[in-house]
């Protein structure tokens, strides 16, 4: 009897054949999507030189921007070029091959302008990080390249305008020719004023250098043209999404600035017991989002403008806000096809995409002035837009666009031009007030609701905090959601849990320290050895705004917090602040820092508190370390360099 029957052999052959087919043919179809993906990538033009040649441009304005201001200034400078018989383009260094800069002299009368913002502790912005790294490592030859830099920063920060200064210095070292002085913009003063003053001197210098004359064209130059859609499918219209159409209905990770996650609000409670301010604690649910965060990171939130202001703008300008429109770039070669996601409606643009609450910048006022039919009102607007002393007196202190339209009855600009000129509404950043070790599925925010009265008697409200305040966990049976993503930070607990930490944070500066303390408590529970954990916290009144009082006192009771030092600034005749408490316990502070390798963390107001606290550390180092003032300053600077003195501050 044969070992295999004919039927066995037939079945065996069939199975073997199917297996061969599966292995050979199934595998062949897989690489096709991959090939398409590669093909799509190669089509994006990374040569700004080729683009400039193709479009007849001779000025390129690069921007390093975190909040949109440097990008806005960059757009203004590229538009300015037209008034001087030149042609400019604004460019994101992240989108181009920056080593091409050495080819710029191939274009006649060419110039590279850099609008560079400094972020955090002297760092480059996210979009200029690669350019910064390349400048540091590279040894390019920029002979013949002509350039100038305008830097954006804030004087209250330790590394004021560090990024702009570095780019200015490094380009010169690599052989480029600076044709106008480095501009210094200070956001602690008046950034707009600094930019306008610099720009007014810059362009005459450019004209002189290249031997060109201003064309005298003072009329407005439109960058976008309006298209009204009458029969567009509603599924093709943006309704508030930041990047991808319908991304809020169909959420897909990974989540980032272009694709935020709609996090449901699970908790929204008032933190302070009394007083006229509203301090709040919010918890955002990130279950199932695959979002990861570390203690010390920031949560970025996309706010929505007040519908009352939006509706009133529509009323004043007499337009139907639900008209579906697109604003299309007149320069077809531009990477920026629209000023905000299009097609959209005026209502969506004013609600989700445009900043309608901050005072408009001078260029917006200047361009809108042409629409004022009353000569006196037109003249007033032009003065407001200039850098003259008279203009500064008349400047619309804290007036938003609606207030200006209401105060100037003859000013009725076309709404599409207004939408073109207004800057984009930016995400707001908050220090995360929780630890992912303890709360892996939620992110906590601690914030104060901004509301104040202006000189004109109008009430100004902070866009994001007032919007967040209204976000209750359930809203008419629906879950209230917040579009958000995570921005990584360098504000980190020491790698070794045995290192002591000294945390200084008044007011809402307590936020990241709630995460730090939760994490130190979690480490203890895991049986890890944890160094001393010392907190210096400041508020106005003990019975009013001692934030997280119960939690902090519990942490102290269980030994997670080695010392809880609280300064109540207004509970006695003389003011007591965190820096006073630091000096009061100077021996313990010096021992932790000098002997025990403690890490110091400061969070909160940069203008006064951070500076006063730093001075307190200088004084402690002088007195207990026997150092001169210069040596004490050097001592603290060295701690900063080693990552042992970190700041998360804002002004």
Last residue of a domain, one of 467, 489, 511: 489
Give the CATH number of the domain where residue 478 resides. Answer: 2.40.30.10
Summarised one tens digit per residue, pLDDT across range 559-574 is: 999 999 999 999 998 9
Note whether 268 and 299 are same-domain residues: yes
Whether 650 is catalytic is: yes
- Has residue 34 been placed in a domain? no
Whether 419 is catalytic is: no
Note whether 85 and 115 are same-domain residues: yes
From the list 74, 326, 431, 435, the catalytic residue is 431
From the list 285, 355, 416, 648, the catalytic residue is 648
Note whether 203 and 90 are same-domain residues: yes
Please tell me whether 403 is known to bind a ligand: no
Mean pLDDT computed over every residue of the chain: 90
The pLDDT of residue 239 is above 50: yes
Give the CATH number of the domain where residue 579 resides. Answer: 3.40.50.80
In angstroms, the CA 236 to CA 246 distance is: 9
Q: What pTM did the predictor assign?
A: 0.86
Summarised one tens digit per residue, pLDDT across range 571-604 is: 998 999 999 999 999 999 999 999 999 999 999 9
The pLDDT of residue 38 is above 70: no
Bridge-based pairing of strands 324-329 and 344-345 is antiparallel
Please tell me whether 118 is known to bind a ligand: yes
The pLDDT of residue 298 is above 90: yes
Summarised one tens digit per residue, pLDDT across range 428-465 is: 999 999 999 999 999 999 999 998 887 778 888 899 99
Please tell me whether 556 is known to bind a ligand: no
Summarised one tens digit per residue, pLDDT across range 194-238 is: 999 999 999 999 999 999 887 766 556 789 999 999 989 989 999
Note whether 265 and 308 are same-domain residues: no
- Has residue 228 been placed in a domain? no
In 10-85 the beta strands, taken as DSSP E runs, fall at 59-64
**Environment class of 439 (CB within 10 Å of its CB; exposed 0-12, middle 13-18, buried 19+):** middle
Domain containing 322 equals 304-421
Mean pLDDT of 403-421: 96
Whether 168 is catalytic is: no
Per-residue model confidence (pLDDT) at position 391: 55
Q: Report yes or no: 208 and 180 within 8 Å, Cβ to Cβ.
A: no
Closest to 82 measured CA to CA, from 185, 221, 175: 221
Q: Please compute Rg for the chain using Cα positions.
A: 29
- Has residue 3 been placed in a domain? no
DSSP state letter for 340:
S
Note whether 282 and 327 are same-domain residues: no
Please tell me whether 68 is known to bind a ligand: yes
Q: Angle at the Cα of 54 (from 48 to 59), degrees rounded to 5?
A: 55
- Has residue 359 been placed in a domain? yes
Summarised one tens digit per residue, pLDDT across range 41-52 is: 334 578 999 999
**Cβ atoms within 10 Å of 498's Cβ, excluding its own:** 12
Give the CATH number of the domain where residue 374 resides. Answer: 1.20.990.10
Q: Calculate helix-pair angle for 611-625, 629-641, nearest 10 degrees.
A: 120
Mean pLDDT of 413-429: 96
Note whether 296 and 323 are same-domain residues: no
Note whether 561 and 592 are same-domain residues: yes
- Has residue 494 been placed in a domain? no
Q: Label residue 389 by pLDDT band (50, 70, 90).
A: low
Last residue of a domain, one of 421, 445, 473: 421
Note whether 560 and 464 are same-domain residues: no
Please tell me whether 576 is known to bind a ligand: yes
The pLDDT of residue 7 is above 70: no
Q: Label residue 144 by pLDDT band (50, 70, 90).
A: very high
Last residue of a domain, one of 421, 447, 471: 421
Note whether 509 and 638 are same-domain residues: yes
Per-residue model confidence (pLDDT) at position 12: 63
Mean pLDDT of 303-313: 97
Task: Tell the residue number behind the tokens 């390019």, with chain if given.
Answer: 140
**Cβ atoms within 10 Å of 568's Cβ, excluding its own:** 19
- Has residue 98 been placed in a domain? yes
Please tell me whether 434 is known to bind a ligand: no
From the list 102, 306, 603, 605, the catalytic residue is 603
Note whether 98 and 164 are same-domain residues: yes
Q: Report yes or no: 433 and 510 within 8 Å, Cβ to Cβ.
A: yes
* Domain count for the chain: 4
Share of the chain above pLDDT 90, in %: 75
Give the CATH number of the domain where residue 116 resides. Answer: 3.40.50.360
Mean pLDDT of 297-308: 97
- Has residue 284 been placed in a domain? yes
**Cβ atoms within 10 Å of 621's Cβ, excluding its own:** 25
Note whether 128 and 202 are same-domain residues: yes
- Has residue 272 been placed in a domain? yes
H or E stretch including 463?
helix 463-469
Note whether 128 and 255 are same-domain residues: no
Q: Report yes or no: 120 and 296 within 8 Å, Cβ to Cβ.
A: no
**Helix, strand and coil in the chain, % to nearest 5:** 40, 20, 40
- DSSP, collapsed to helix, strand or coil, labels residue 406 as helix
In angstroms, the CA 479 to CA 287 distance is: 14
In angstroms, the CA 294 to CA 515 distance is: 9
């Amino acid at each position: 009897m044969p070992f295999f029957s004919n039927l066995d052999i037939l079945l065996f052959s069939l199975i073997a054949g199917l297996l061969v087919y599966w292995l050979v043919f199934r595998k062949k179809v897989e690489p096709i999507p991959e090939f398409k993906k590669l093909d799509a990538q190669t089509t994006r033009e990374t040569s700004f030189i080729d683009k400039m040649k193709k479009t007849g441009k001779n000025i390129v304005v690069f921007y390093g921007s975190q909040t949109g201001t440097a990008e806005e200034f960059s757009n203004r400078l590229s538009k300015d070029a037209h008034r001087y018989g030149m042609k400019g383009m604004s460019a994101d260094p992240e989108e181009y091959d920056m080593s091409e800069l050495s080819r710029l002299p191939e274009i006649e009368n060419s110039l590279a302008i850099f609008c560079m913002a400094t972020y955090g502790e002297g760092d480059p912005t996210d979009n200029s990080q690669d350019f910064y790294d390349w400048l540091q490592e590279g040894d390019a030859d920029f002979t013949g390249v002509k350039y100038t830099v305008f830097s954006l920063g804030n004087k209250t920060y330790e590394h004021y305008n560090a990024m702009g200064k570095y780019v200015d210095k490094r380009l010169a070292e690599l052989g480029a020719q600076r044709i106008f002085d480095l501009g210094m913009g200070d956001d602690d003063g008046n950034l707009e004023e600094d930019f306008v003053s610099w720009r007014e001197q810059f362009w005459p210098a450019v004209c002189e250098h290249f031997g060109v004359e201003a064309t005298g064209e003072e009329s407005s130059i439109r960058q976008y043209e309006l298209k009204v859609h009458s029969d567009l499918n509603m599924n093709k219209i943006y309704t508030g999404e930041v990047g991808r159409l319908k991304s809020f209905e169909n959420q897909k990770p990974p989540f980032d600035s272009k694709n935020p996650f709609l996090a449901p609000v699970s908790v929204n409670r008032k933190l302070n017991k009394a007083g006229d301010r509203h301090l709040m604690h919010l918890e955002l649910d990130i279950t199932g989002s695959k979002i990861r965060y570390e203690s010390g990171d920031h949560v970025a939130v996309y706010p929505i403008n007040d519908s009352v202001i939006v509706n009133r703008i529509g009323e004043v300008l007499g337009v139907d806000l639900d008209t579906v429109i697109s604003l299309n770039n007149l320069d077809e070669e531009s990477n920026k096809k629209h000023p905000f996601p299009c097609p959209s409606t005026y209502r969506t643009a004013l609600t989700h995409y445009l900043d309608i609450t901050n005072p408009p910048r001078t260029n917006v006022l200047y361009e809108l002035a042409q629409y004022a039919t009353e000569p006196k009102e037109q003249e007033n607007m032009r003065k407001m837009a200039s850098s003259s002393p008279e203009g500064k007196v008349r400047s619309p202190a804290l007036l938003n666009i609606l207030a200006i339209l209401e105060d100037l009855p003859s000013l009725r600009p076309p709404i599409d031009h207004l939408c073109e000129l207004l800057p984009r509404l930016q995400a707001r950043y908050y220090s995360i007030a929780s630890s992912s070790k303890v709360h892996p599925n939620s992110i906590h925010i601690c914030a104060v609701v901004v509301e104040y009265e202006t000189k004109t008697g109008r009430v100004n409200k902070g866009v994001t905090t007032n919007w967040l305040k209204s976000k209750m966990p359930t809203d008419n049976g629906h879950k209230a959601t917040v579009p958000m993503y995570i921005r990584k930070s360098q504000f980190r607990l020491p790698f070794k849990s045995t290192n002591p930490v000294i945390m200084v944070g008044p007011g809402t500066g307590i936020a990241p320290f709630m995460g730090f303390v939760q994490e130190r408590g979690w480490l203890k529970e895991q049986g890890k050895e944890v160094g001393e954990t010392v907190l210096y916290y400041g508020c106005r009144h003990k019975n009013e705004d001692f934030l997280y009082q119960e939690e902090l006192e519990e942490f102290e009771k269980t030994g997670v917090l080695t010392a809880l030092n609280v300064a109540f600034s207004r509970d006695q005749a003389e003011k007591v602040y965190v820096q006073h408490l630091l000096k009061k316990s100077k021996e313990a502070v010096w021992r932790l820092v000098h002997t025990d390798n403690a890490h110091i963390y400061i969070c909160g107001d940069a203008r006064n508190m951070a500076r006063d606290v730093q001075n307190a550390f200088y004084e402690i180092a002088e007195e207990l370390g026997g150092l001169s003032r210069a040596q004490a300053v050097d001592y603290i600077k060295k701690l900063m360099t080693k990552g042992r003195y970190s700041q998360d501050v804002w002004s």
